[in-house]
Amino acid sequence: MTLSAALSFDIKAVDVASNARRGTLQTGHGRVETPTFMAVGTRATVTGLTPADLADIGAQVVLGNTYHLMLRPGPELFRRVGGIHAFMGWSGPVLTDSGGYQIFSLAEDRTLSERGARFRSYTDQRMHMLSPERSIEMQTAIGSDIMMVLDVCVDSRSDEATLRDAMERTHRWAKRSLDARTNPAQALFAIVQGGVRRELRKESAGVLTAMPFDGFAIGGLAVGDARAEREDMTHFSAELLPRDRPRYLMGVGTPADLLEAIAAGVDMFDCILPTHLAWQGTAFTGTGRVRLTRGPNAQADVPLDAECTCSTCRLYSRAYLHHLFKCSEPLGPRLVSLHNLHHYHALMAEARRAIEAGTYAAFAKRKLEAIDRHEH
Ligand code: PRF
Ligand code: ZN
């Protein structure tokens, strides 16, 4: 079904025993098969990887961050070069986060008001203002295919008054973001907040879905909540969102989190975990996480993951990867980033096939049991 000039979303199949959906998102820069995982490219780069690497891994869409990109290189540069696709050499779809989460987690000397967030730049120590309008203006300059509204993200276990204030301001800012949109070719998603409180999540979904957004995100999770609370909120929130729009769970999570959220009917994910852990020498495999710097890997003349078809696993041994990390060689994090992202994308591809076959619930159960067996 066509949502706006910017985006269309078609659901091809729904699982029999869960709410998992198999869809296709059509953007101005190509198609995205859902459920999908978005590699995090905060500063218009997935650290250490080229767009060709990303395509090899099976990446379909890359995430950039308004907060970082507004400070450096700034909107004028994006306007001059014609946007992020040309700038970073990635011709596929791009989603930009609004800066709401970075204001909450990174900004120094921050003061929040109804107008927006004032904070100090980490690049030149000057004060900046990020308002809903300014975030849309910046995302318009970046030229992302999907923009996110500026939201107020607080600790998910804050007291009710704090959660309510953040949620209500998020709703007012969502309306202002809609009004500030100037380019109909760029989609805009709203973000449901409300912490770990069901009544707030319900209210938030109700207010936001009454407005004409192209898709809806579930925000404010994985910020202080436990896994069980996160799963409950994900299932509860996803069911409150319109069936015909894409659903995006922000900043979550482990392979187990993703399998659970797909069963809840979530279509899109992003998380720094696969790339962040790669830089520490930790790899995801079908039999749990591997810490490559550990002693026994020094002599392990075997692939990182015998089941994996990525270039790292085809060409190099654990011993070689261990050696690269011990010598702080930049090839180490690069090869493990390639593998970890391949692992996440392969999991999504398997999930998509299982949904098409109507066997997702059984598939997810089997995968979750394997993860639990190896990680506990
Ligand atoms: N809001 C925005 N980005 C986000 C989050 C949010 O709540 C989260 C929370 N997990 C990650 N990224 N705008
Ligand atoms: Zn691999």
Atom of ligand 1 nearest to the CA of 252: 10
**DSSP secondary structure string, 56-121?**
HHT---EEEEHHHHHHTT-HHHHHHHTSHHHHHT--S-EEEE-SHHHHHHT-EEEEE-SS-EEEE-
How far does the centroid of ligand 1 lie from the alpha carbon of residue 364, in Å? 25
Q: 248 - beta bridge partners? A: 217, 268
Q: Could you say which ligand is closest to the alpha carbon of residue 270?
A: 1
Give pLDDT, residue 338.
98
Q: 188 - beta bridge partners? A: 147
C-alpha distances in Å from residue 284, one per residue of 113, 178, 243: 41, 39, 32
Task: Give nearest CA residue, ligand 1 atom 6.
Answer: 219
Give pLDDT, residue 375.
76
Give pLDDT, residue 194.
97
Residue listed under structure tokens 């709703």: 171
How far does the centroid of ligand 1 lie from the alpha carbon of residue 255, in Å? 18
The binding-site residues of ligand 1, defined as CB within 6 angstroms of any ligand atom, are: 97-98, 100-101, 148, 151, 153, 191, 219-223, 250-251
Q: Which residues have C-beta within 8 Å of that of residue 142, sequence separation ≥ 6?
A: 64, 66, 69, 75, 78, 83, 84, 94, 96
Q: Could you say which ligand is closest to the alpha carbon of residue 139?
A: 1
> Using one digit for the tens of pLDDT, what is the confidence trace for 238-257?
999 999 999 999 999 999 99
| Complex-level ipTM beyond the 0.85 threshold | yes
Rg of the chain on CA atoms, in Å: 20
Give pLDDT, residue 327.
98
Q: Are 317 and 302 in contact (CB under 8 A)?
A: yes
Whole-prediction pTM: 0.98
Give pLDDT, residue 5.
81
Active site residues: 97, 270
> Rounded to the nearest 5 degrees, what angle is found at the Cα of 53, between the Cα atoms of 49 and 56?
155
Atom of ligand 1 nearest to the CA of 251: 11
Q: Using the CB atoms, write b or e for 267-284: b if 16+ within 10 Å.
A: bbbbbebbbebbbebbbb
Q: Which residue type sits at 300?
A: A
Q: Using the CB atoms, write b or e for 16-45: b if 16+ within 10 Å.
A: eebbbbbbebbbebeebbbbbbbbbbbebe
Q: Which residues have C-beta within 8 Å of that of residue 243, sequence separation ≥ 6?
A: 11
Give pLDDT, residue 361.
97
Give pLDDT, residue 4.
72
Instruction: Among 42, 101, 189, name the best residue to mutate to test ligand 1's pocket (greatest count of ligand atoms within 8 A of Cβ).
Output: 101
Give pLDDT, residue 1.
54
Give pLDDT, residue 287.
85
Q: What is the DSSP letter of 303?
A: -
Give pLDDT, residue 108.
84
C-alpha distances in Å from residue 149, one per residue of 10, 52, 364: 23, 30, 32
In the chain, which stretches have pLDDT less than 50?
none
How far does the centroid of ligand 1 lie from the alpha carbon of residue 332, in Å? 29
Atom of ligand 1 nearest to the CA of 149: 13
Give pLDDT, residue 372.
86
3-class DSSP state of 248 = strand
Give pLDDT, residue 25.
98
Instruction: Among 96, 144, 153, name the best residue to mutate to test ligand 1's pocket (greatest count of ligand atoms within 8 A of Cβ).
Output: 153
Q: 237 - beta bridge partners? A: none
Widest distance between CA atoms in the chain: 60
Task: Give nearest CA residue, ligand 1 atom 9.
Answer: 220
